[in-house]
Amino acid sequence: MTNPLLSDFTTPFETAPFHLIKNEHFLPAVKEAIALAKGEIETIKTHPLPSFENTIEALDRSGKRLGVITAIFFNLNSAETNEEIQKLAREISPLLTEHSNDILLDQELFQRVSQVFSQKESLNLRAEQVTLLEKTYKSFVRNGAKLDSSEAETLRKIDQELAQLSLRFGEHVLAETNRFVHFISDEKELEGLPEGIKEAAAQLAEEKGQSGKWAFSLDYPSYIPAMTYAKNRELRKTLFMAFNTKSAKGDELDNQEIIRQILTLRNQRAKLLGFSSHADFVLEERMAKNPKTVLDFLESLLEKAKPKAIQEVQEVADYAQKLDRLASLEKWDFAYYSELLKKERYALDDELLRPYFQLEHVIQGVFDTSSKLYGLNFQPNPEIPVYHPEVTAYEVRDRDGKFVSVFYADFFPRPGKRNGAWMTSFRGQYHENGQDHRPHISIVCNFTKPTKSKPSLLTFNEVTTLFHEFGHALHGMLAKGTYESLSGTSVYWDFVELPSQIFENWCYEKDCLDLFAKHYQTGEPIPAELIERIKNAANFQQGYMTVRQISFGLLDMAYHSNDPSNITDIKEFESEVMKKTDLLPKVPGTMVSTSFSHIFQGGYSSGYYSYKWAEVLDADAFELFQEKGVFDPETASSFEKNILSAGGSEHPSVLYKRFRGRDPKPDALLKRSGLLA
């Protein structure tokens, strides 16, 4: 029987043939694709005279089949996994790590790359080609090409172990999330919860075989509303403790030892390659360049935000004392009393807004905003196979009807899907043999599900999340690069959040909200005064939220810019680091680290600061849109050309300056956050 992963895809736009793929196809396909890629590498090594075309470009174009297969596999492992896929991931990961090391530690290949690199000045290359040459050379050096054979072998072992540990970390967090469910039998215990949330809780209990009860899980659409609206303090505490002790209970799903091992191996790897720490290694290839710049940046923000944050927390504590004689405001109380205070101060809460944010309308709003800015048109295409019935596939075309991209949208929580929201791709964009190969982009979220009586009605936070991930998607879809490794979101990590974070700004603009925010029952547009209240409330507790983000960035840097051999107790270490940003009493037994997937499973190690870093860029960039008009065609065209389509073709500071006409200034962010008058 033919393996569908190894044949040319005959689906629309050569999309992944999910309807044909079975789990047993993956391992043999990966092995064969690795053999194919090895053959391509050997061909590169046969040319008597290394050149940019036969070495650097050929390397970038090698392994395409393997890239497509692994993108399909690992995206499924994030969005639609099961025990069989997780077992396969543990088998496939070492093969890929070994293959990558085989390439990057191949001395003959490195000599050819070095030869071309040494001629850089005389090759008359375009800017994008220079970037590819430098990136290729650096990737060899940064992955051990200059090590001796013994050191190279040590590096191989480290990389293999790290790949396995990262998988196990994620599996533990998902298993912890899935195994927790809390049932309520008495409806009186649900006081404060909106009817829609209660209905969703009843539906979840029914799905769990407990009809007549209400159930809460650790999935965001269940957990967040309960923490925000439940008057029942014990319920809030129970959920808070479960959420914040994920993989920290000393059992078979505990991640503390895995964290220790990951940190030790990352540090060993960095030292082996001549760096002081993992953070030094990572940040060499970031806009920030070194740990000192990151720490100075975070400390500077903390200095401005913390006084405001302390004041905001005190306001909530005073409010809770006045309202319910609450003696001590605990972490499981904060969201609940904050929401009540916000409602009193701005006459605004999520339940007032939800009816105007039906998911289908918001999706159309995102599409319409993209159309007004960039001329894109989205049409569902049922002929494109999908990996789950809840996924919708679209074909995307430009204003002239030319095909731009495939776009997949996957919105609701499932047991096989990890928490959170992310953008990913099944195929990147690149030019080859005169043909522009267009990308296949996906966003995956965990939004409020429809119930028997209501469609999916989003919170305003979920609306901004959708816009955020769609900003990433635009970066992928509008790519116009020559080389896949520099295309779309293949940019410096502290630049990658600019397209996503700037797109959130449109959620606060009347011209944008008028496109889609209409009552799901009456069709009435969102009232202008409600939009005004959204804008007025935008800075509510910005100090607190800024300090919270900084705390994660500082924790990440503390783990990765120091010698991890000094960390004997993960819980104590985290507690010590977060002292300066903790604004509420520490809760014994709770931890962030053991489920901090961004840095121990995703690609954000020594990079969590990039959310705040990119906020400086996005606030500064959006100021230009505000000056010219949020749908100004000229500004949108410049942003598309210089940021979205350019990918990583040049250094981000060059691209940004080309769009903005100058370097970014932090004032716009401080003003927007209410931290600067």
- Which residues are tagged catalytic? 469
Q: Could you give the CA distance from residue 671 to residue 226 in angstroms, rounded to a whole number?
A: 32
The secondary structure of residue 640, as a DSSP letter, is: I
* Axis crossing angle, helix 23-44 with helix 64-79, rounded to the nearest 10: 150
How far is the C-alpha of 222 from the C-alpha of 241, rounded, in Å? Answer: 15
**Is 200:222 a contact under the CB 8 Å cutoff?**
yes
Give the length of the chain.
677
Least Cα distance to 168 among 248, 87, 95 occurs for 87
Question: Which residue carries 């075989």 as its tokens?
Answer: 209
- Tokens 């709770």 belong to 590
CA dist 260 and 571 (Å) reads 11
Question: Which of helix, strand or coil describes residue 545?
Answer: helix
646 touches 492 (CB < 8 A): no
CA-CA-CA-CA torsion sign (188, 192, 196, 202): negative
The sheet with strand 422-427 has its strands ordered as 377-380, 392-397, 403-410, 440-444, 422-427
| Local structure of residue 564 (DSSP, 8 states) | G
Helices (H), 233-290: 233-243, 256-272, 278-283
* Residue in the structure block whose two tokens are 């705390």: 551
φ, ψ for residue 518, nearest 5 deg: -135, 150
Rounded CA-CA distance 464/458 in Å is 10
Tell me, rounded to whole angstroms, the distance of Cα 268 from its chain centroid. 27
Which helix (H) or strand (E) segment holds residue 659: the answer is: helix 652-660
Instruction: Write the DSSP string, 356-409.
Output: G-BHHHHHHHHHHHHHHHH--EEEE-TTS--SSTT-EEEEEE-TTS-EEEEEEE
For residue 386, which of 80, 88, 23, 82 has the smallest C-alpha distance?
A: 80
Helix, strand, or coil (residue 462):
helix
Tell me how far the alpha carbon of residue 216 is from its chain's centroid: 25
Answer yes or no: are the C-beta atoms of 382 and 533 closer than 8 Å: no
Residue 484 to residue 389: CA distance in whole angstroms: 30
The two structure tokens encoding residue 79: 């969005």
User: What is the DSSP secondary-structure string of 325-369?
Assistant: --SS--HHHHHHHHHHHHHHHHS--HHHHGGG-BHHHHHHHHHHH
3 state SS of 552: helix
454, 195 in Cβ contact below 8 A?
no
Q: How far apart are CA 457 and CA 652, in angstroms?
A: 37
**Calpha distance 332→237 (Å, rounded):** 6
| Residue matched to tokens 């932090």 | 666
Q: What is the C-alpha separation between 609 and 561, in angstroms, rounded?
A: 13
What sign for the dihedral angle of Cα 646, 599, 238, 186? positive
The residue to which tokens 């070492």 are assigned? 94
CA distance 277 to 560: 7
